[in-house]
């Protein structure tokens, strides 16, 4: 038998064995008080493949960018490798195939993505607002930890500029979603009907964010 993975055992009066992968990728085993360690470890062994897959996924989700040579950075849904430069002046630029960086990666990428969002994605807010007469008040660009966008009760819209890493269809979805909230301050059927009427394929964008959204939060 291959070496057994580390786990934390929590015994209680329960009747069945269960396993859980914690938020920091630790394996937790809940077991009945009297179940033998041998049986517990046999159970872990049988599930080892599934456990390792789950743990790898969690670790990958939590991974932060290192700003190393060759590391991949997203922009409009495509992946571009990083090349490090050794310049006197700290800077970042994108040539259509590579990002070039000298200096602090986190600071420069945040600034670059925010600027790219302002130039490329933000005009779509006014485009959709005018086309569908959805009037907003002010717009703010922020790198929020948990939200892609929001719309306040006075119709100020916040957009997460890290969305510039996602395909334009995903950015459009978030923009139209927040614009639809200027009319409907809820997620009931009238809201989704309005959204569907403007962007009929919005479920694909939603799925993209669900599956890959974590990759936008690595900066
Ligand atoms: Zn919403």
pTM: 0.80
pLDDT at residue 62 is higher than 90 = no
- Tally of structural domains, the chain: 2
Ligand 1 centroid from CA 206, angstroms: 12
Residue 67 lies in a domain: no
- Helix (H) or strand (E) segment spanning residue 40: helix 37-62
User: How far, in Å, is the centroid of ligand 1 from the Cα of 157?
Assistant: 11
Q: % helix / strand / coil in the chain, to the nearest 5? A: 45, 20, 35
Instruction: Note the pLDDT tens digit of each residue in 124-138.
Output: 999 999 999 999 999
**Residue 199 C-beta-side C-alpha neighbours within 13 Å:** 23
Q: Residue 115: which CATH number?
A: 3.30.2010.10
Q: Which pLDDT tens digit goes with each residue over 131-157?
A: 999 999 999 999 988 899 999 999 999
Give me the domain span that covers residue 47.
8-62
CA of residue 192 to ligand 1 center, whole Å: 10
* Ligand 1 midpoint to CA 186 (Å): 7
Same domain, 12 and 111: no
- What is the separation of C-alpha 199 from the centre of its chain, rounded to a whole number of angstroms? 21
Same domain, 207 and 112: yes
Q: How far apart are CA 95 and CA 179, in angstroms?
A: 33
Cα(46) to ligand 1 centroid in Å equals 42
- For residue 129, report the distance from its CA to the centre of ligand 1, in Å: 16
Whether 73 maps to a domain, the answer reads: no
């Amino acid at each position: 038998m291959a070496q057994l993975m580390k786990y934390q055992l929590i015994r209680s009066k329960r009747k069945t064995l269960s396993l859980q992968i914690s938020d920091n990728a630790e394996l937790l085993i809940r077991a009945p008080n009297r179940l033998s360690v041998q049986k517990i470890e046999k159970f872990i062994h049988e599930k080892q493949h599934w456990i390792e897959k789950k743990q790898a996924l969690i670790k990958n989700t939590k991974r932060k960018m290192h700003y190393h040579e060759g590391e991949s950075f997203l922009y409009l849904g495509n992946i571009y490798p990083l090349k490090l430069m050794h310049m006197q002046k700290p800077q970042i630029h994108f040539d259509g195939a590579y990002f070039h960086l000298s200096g602090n990666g986190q600071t420069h990428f945040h600034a670059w993505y925010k600027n790219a969002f302002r130039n490329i994605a933000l005009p779509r807010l006014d485009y959709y607002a005018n086309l569908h007469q959805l009037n907003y008040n002010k717009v703010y660009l922020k790198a929020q930890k948990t939200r892609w966008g929001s719309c306040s009760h006075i119709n100020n819209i916040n957009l997460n500029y890290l969305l510039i890493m996602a395909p334009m269809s995903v950015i459009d979805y978030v923009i139209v979603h927040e614009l639809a909230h200027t009319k409907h301050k809820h997620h009931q059927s009238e809201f989704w009907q309005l959204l569907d009427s403007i962007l009929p394929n919005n479920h694909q964008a939603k799925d993209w964010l669900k599956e890959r959204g974590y990759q936008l939060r690595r900066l």
